[in-house]
Structure 1
Amino acid sequence: MFDAPIPRAALVLGLAGLLPFVWGLVTLWSPTAALQTVALVGPRFIGPYVGLFYGAVILSFMSGVLWGFATKAEGQVAVTGYALSVLPALWAFFMTGGGSTAAAVALIAGFVGLLGLDWLFWQQGLAPRWWMKLRIILTSGVVICLLPLAL
């Protein structure tokens, strides 16, 4: 089931994509890191702000990835794939405006839901064989980083 190895570039870039989420936690828990970040690049790149904004961006990005998978299908499977592929972006757009705690909860739900969509596309043979292995790793990292913002 998960026997295909994740290509090194996909794994490294995927893990690098977790860095803004991790940095949000670092600056949430380290006043020194937060102050230095504010001085260097501004307040938008600390604490919950970076994690929540980046989370919405990544959900939108993943809509594009799923759309790309849908292009491999035909007929009703393609139509369904296109329709499902826009859900993560719409979720991020409509569900992240209710304050930081509510946004974090919505993003966690969005990423867990995205994992379900990933599985669906993967089951249909539209995603690479290694896809779910990578998505489980990355989704776990995102949820772990967003969880403190949701509490």
Structure 2
Amino acid sequence: MNEVISDRNVAWFLGLAGLIPFIAGGLIAWWAPAAWQVTAVYGFSYYSAVILSFLGGVHWGSALQVPRQGNHRRLIIAMVPSLIAWPALLFNVTTGLWVLLAGFVLIGGYDLSRDGREGFPRWYLKLRCVLTGVVVVFHLIVLLRLGG
């Protein structure tokens, strides 16, 4: 049987798979040996910064893909996640995680806005809500472990 896999299904699969480092990092930060916990927290922070930057790239790509009025605003907003993520890695890990968490909440809010969801299929917004929700929860789990 030759079955066609939709872009939506692939995006959901990859999006959910992209949660593995967040979930693993959060769990390892609590229950692994101490040396692994430190590595897990730093790995969690670095991965968080990469993914936050990626979310800006999604909007950059959308703005370039479909010409529409206001694209210059979307291009500017698309740079914000990287400008949050990079300095977050320069702070101590607890402060950096709070900054990254704020970045995910901000870009998530933009994704929910009329401008932010323009040009994306409805299923994408549902995917983003699920992914952002899990990412926020695991940031809070790691921050709780750090006492921050």
Name the residue aligned to 2:131. 138
TM-score using structure 2 length: 0.81
Instruction: Kindly state the Cα deviation for residue 122 of structure 1 after the two structures are TM-superposed.
Output: 4.2
TM-score using structure 1 length: 0.80
Count of residue pairs the alignment pairs up: 136
**Equivalent position SS for 1:70:** helix
Output the amino acid matched with 1:92.
A
**Does the 8 A contact of 1:56 with 1:96 survive in 2?**
yes
Name the residue aligned to 2:4. none
Instruction: Kindly state the Cα deviation for residue 119 of structure 1 after the two structures are TM-superposed.
Output: 2.1
Match status 1:74 vs 2:68: yes
Name the residue aligned to 1:57. 50
**Does the 8 A contact of 1:73 with 1:126 survive in 2?**
no
Equivalent in 47, 59, 69 of residue 40 of structure 2:
47
Unaligned runs of 5+ in 2: 1-6
Looking at structure 2, the residues matched to 107 and 8 of structure 1 have their Cα atoms a distance apart, in angstroms, of 28
Equivalent in 118, 121, 124 of residue 128 of structure 1:
121
Q: Percent identity?
A: 35
**Does the 8 A contact of 1:122 with 1:128 survive in 2?**
no
Output the amino acid matched with 2:53.
S
Could you give the per-residue CA deviations for residues 27-83 of structure 1, whole angstroms, max 9, x where no partner exists?
212225x76xx6xxxx88x321111000000011111111011121324x1111111
Name the residue aligned to 2:95. 102
Output the amino acid matched with 1:25.
G
Name the residue aligned to 1:13. 14
Looking at structure 1, the residues matched to 88 and 40 of structure 2 have their Cα atoms a distance apart, in angstroms, of 19
**Does the 8 A contact of 1:52 with 1:100 survive in 2?**
yes
**Does the 8 A contact of 2:29 with 2:142 survive in 1?**
no
Q: Provide the alpha-carbon RMSD of the alignment.
A: 2.1
**Does the 8 A contact of 1:21 with 1:50 survive in 2?**
no
**Equivalent position SS for 2:122:** coil
Unaligned runs of 5+ in 1: 1-5
Name the residue aligned to 1:31. 32
**Does the 8 A contact of 1:122 with 1:132 survive in 2?**
no
Looking at structure 1, the residues matched to 83 and 41 of structure 2 have their Cα atoms a distance apart, in angstroms, of 21
**Equivalent position SS for 2:135:** helix
Runs of 4+ deviating beyond 4 Å:
none
